[in-house]
Amino acid sequence: MKKWLMAVLLGSVLVLGACGGGDDNANDDGAANNDAGGDTTASAGEDIYKANCAACHGQDLSGGAGPALDQAGSKFSADEIVDIIQNGVGSMQPQKQVSEDDAKTLADWLAEKK
């Protein structure tokens, strides 16, 4: 019985120790970590794209079920891209799961792709 209890306790300690709880990438001074000064808006736009658009338009914007977006900025303004996201175009349905703020962030990021 004691061996079993010790094994359970030791296993619990190992599991809890492996889970950690600390953020190894935390910044002690409270400043945002911008990946060596990178633009957080661009990163946010890319994150929104990967979560909502990449399944149809490709992870690298090269297209798939939907058209390629690697040169979206040469064809559409940021405002036009927001309109497409919110209202759809062609066979693309309106993307209701994308908030207005996220649509603007995403459109600004895509408009830079020329």
**Known binding site: residues?**
53, 56-57, 92
How many Å separate Cα 69 from the centre of its chain? 16
What are residue 89's DSSP bridge partners?
92
Q: Which residues are annotated as a binding site for heme c?
A: 53, 56-57, 92
Tell me the C-alpha distance between 76 and 112, whole Å.
10
The C-alpha atoms of residue 62 and residue 104 are separated, in whole angstroms, by: 21
What CA–CA distance (Å, rounded) separates 16 from 74?
Answer: 52
